[in-house]
Amino acid sequence: MEISDELLCLFNGEVTTTEDGYVVEIPEREVENGTIDPESVYRVAIIARGGEPGGRGESAETTVPSEPQPPVEEGEIRYVEIEDIGKQGDGIARVERGYVIIVPGAEMGERVKIEITEVKSNFAVGDVIEEDFE
């Protein structure tokens, strides 16, 4: 299966029934970490677990982690462009699958070389080691 670079978050969830439809609950951490905005509209894809229609079966060959693994590692060097500024004034860069890297002291539009100093499931922190690379 090919995963789009536009993917903002990935999580396991259950479909629940309401009076007039069905609901897939989004984990609070996805909103708290700025991955998604509760006031926006998104496209949603539903993928069956274990490769069986309806998602009821578990395949012995395929194990799906409950959390996607971060696409960066502590100590890794990355070249990123600052796409946004966070609520506390830090630069925000996005890499594979929309994964967020917080870059303190970086400005909107800057292209910087960073070293990843902290990795969490939904975001990482990187320190600038070179500004405005070409």
Task: Work out the percent of the chain whose per-residue pLDDT is above 70.
Answer: 75
Task: Return the closest-CA partner of residue 90 out of 106, 101, 110.
Answer: 106
* Tokens, residue 106: 């970086």
Read off the amino acid at residue 16.
T
| Domain 76-130 coded CATH 2.40.50.140 | yes
Facing residues of 114 across strands? 78, 128
Work out whether strand 15-18 and strand 91-94 pair parallel, antiparallel, or are unpaired. unpaired
| Alpha-carbon gap, residue 115 to 126, rounded angstroms | 5
pLDDT digits (tens, 9 = 90+) for 70-107: 999 999 999 999 999 999 999 999 998 889 999 999 99
pLDDT digits (tens, 9 = 90+) for 39-57: 888 777 777 765 555 545 4
Read off the amino acid at residue 19.
E
Indicate the pLDDT class of residue 126, thresholds 50, 70 and 90.
very high
